Amino acid sequence: KVETIQLTTHNGVGWLKLNRPEKLNALNETLLREMKTAIDTFDQDDAVRVIVIVGEGRAFSSGQDLTIESDADYGEYLEDVYHPLVRALFSCRKPLIAGIHGVVAGAGLSLALAADVRIVAKSTKFSSAFIKIGLVADAGGPYHLRRLMRHDLALDWLWNGSTIDAEVAHTFGLVTELVEDAMYTERLTTYAETLAAKSPIAVQGMKALMRATSFEDGLNEEIEWQRKCGNTDVHRQAMQAFLMK
């Protein structure tokens, strides 16, 4: 039984919806732990080929729940609560799509950046936020920013803590596809279901190969992946169809 997220599976897509709309899906401990378990479960579930993370209500997520009074050591909290989730997102074998609308801020942004692709509604506001409350960006955010955008622009944004429009986030490299608000849900669903209809081995293999840590590792890993792909019905049928015109 989950309290702070909603989970559904449809047409090969596992939907994970952050569900604290009254707090703009601020991240509390329960939500972070439930999300971690859900990602692991979806990753193991053969009925799920693609995972989509979205927010209920008018935001993706407003970041860490700031109303929680805690004298906890922030380092311990990160290690114990955030990092297991961040690792689950990072090591997830299946495509992870963040569907982002409304507001995405602070640690919510870090989680969105951990996805493989980000489908974003045009009116979304992106807030790096952390510096405004005197914190460093965390939950893997700096790692992903470094990967996705220019180093100087990323640091400038983290240092000034500004809120930027989705168009600017797009020019920064943080948006895979920018969608008119009215079309956002439909486009997100089509994107996810189209990907879920493709060969899961090829789709997961592409993801794994893009993560290869060196050139030689990549070459070695592609041998295994291509061997598996070559043995699938989908590949054999496609070859036969080509040869038969």
Residues contributing to the site for ligand T3D (CB under 6 A):
23-24, 26, 62-67, 74, 77-78, 103, 105-107, 129-130, 133, 135, 138-139
Question: Can you state the angle between helices 141-148 and 151-160, rounded to 10 degrees?
Answer: 140
151 CB burial (10 A radius; 0-12, 13-18, 19+) = exposed
Nearer to ligand T3D, 50 or 112 (CB): 112
Give the nearest distance from C-beta 40 to ligand T3D in angstroms: 21
Nearer to ligand T3D, 75 or 245 (CB): 75
First to last CA, the chain: 52
Question: Whole-angstrom Cα distance, residue 41 to residue 50?
Answer: 12
Give the nearest distance from C-beta 20 to ligand T3D in angstroms: 9
Nearer to ligand T3D, 31 or 105 (CB): 105
Give the nearest distance from C-beta 62 to ligand T3D in angstroms: 3
| Residue among 80, 76, 82, 79 at smallest CA distance from 64 | 82
Give the nearest distance from C-beta 7 to ligand T3D in angstroms: 23
Nearer to ligand T3D, 85 or 103 (CB): 103
Q: Phi/psi of residue 237, each to 5°?
A: -65, -40
